[in-house]
Structure 1
């Protein structure tokens, strides 16, 4: 089995054991050497699994120190998809994009038209990413009077998972928000990606 697959498999098994209650929140995990012996791998493989789990927020602790099980993140409730994020955010991408068939349908335009684009990473007060927002619009941003939203779920791609501190293909909420002008015409559309373990949705 490739080394990459081994440490990801071990990370998944450690997550399963934590969820089963073998190691409670705040409690320490065995040393890398002890777990390496248990899994029959090199201690470096377990170290990579621990790094992955720290990035995912499953474990706390610094490199070369004792690691503990992280306490579950605070839950937030999304009730207004058009509300401003109350904390800090970082703009991660502003490159224009060609309208895909899906975006064209959402905005009522022809596919292939150049759209303005913005990706935001909304941060918790402690600095952890809480939500990703990607928005698209044509021309300059125009005012809106209301919005409509559709809720679904989607597996996260590599960049999205990394930003949210989750594993690739983790399922997240996807809220499709479309802002409308006074005539009911779409002026902007956005995807909001929210981790299932940090959010409840009440629309």
Structure 2
């Protein structure tokens, strides 16, 4: 299995949780026990546990042995045109030339046009990551009159996992949204990645 040692350990521990070997409420072995069993250093264990905490698979007070979290509540999305009401953690904000032709078409600009790109992690009230929203726009944010959205199945990419702590390869919904001004000109294009185990869509 490719990846850093802590990622390999996290993947193995994740499988124990997902397969039911470590059920919800189970207090996982101590750092020392995990080090001995998997022949790794303390840092590897700490990073693996931190990864699973970010994914919402483990919970508990810091500096204590965490327990396996109960499954997060499943939310229902009825509109892709609302801003996330809870905590948002900005992960990336940059201005760059648009090199993706498909994105340029969605945004209605020629390839090479400089646009702003922001990536925001969506977090619920309990601190669990429930999605990632990446938005491209030209110039400042403008009001929109209507939107269109296409939905497709998606696997969380390594880059998305690095930004959010979601598991790479996890099943997700990809919502590709375009917001339009009243004259029909696109003012914003967004990709929303929503984990399939945390969302139902009813739009």
Could you state the TM-score of these two structures normalised by the residue count of structure 1?
0.81
SS of match in other structure, 1:96: strand
What's the counterpart of residue 13 of structure 1?
12
Gaps of 5+ in 2: none
- Does 2:134 match 1:134? yes
What's the counterpart of residue 49 of structure 2?
50
Could you state the TM-score of these two structures normalised by the residue count of structure 2?
0.81
Q: How many residues align?
A: 200
Cα deviation 1:1-55 (Å, max 9, x = unaligned)? 99933x433322222222222222112122334344444x145244443233223
Stretch moving more, 189-198 or 124-133: 124-133
Query: How far apart are the structure 2 equivalents of 1:108 and 1:3?
Result: 38
Query: How far apart are the structure 2 equivalents of 1:162 and 1:20?
Result: 24
Which 4+ stretches in 1 moved above 6 angstroms?
none
State the structure with more CA Rg: 1
Stretch moving more, 144-153 or 27-36: 27-36
- Is the alpha carbon distance of 1:183 and 1:163 closer, same or farther for their aligned partners in structure 2, counting shifts above 3 Å? same
CA-based RMSD: 2.7
Determine if contact 2:55/2:129 at 8 Å carries over to the other structure: no
Determine if contact 1:61/1:68 at 8 Å carries over to the other structure: yes
What's the counterpart of residue 72 of structure 1?
71
Gaps of 5+ in 1: none
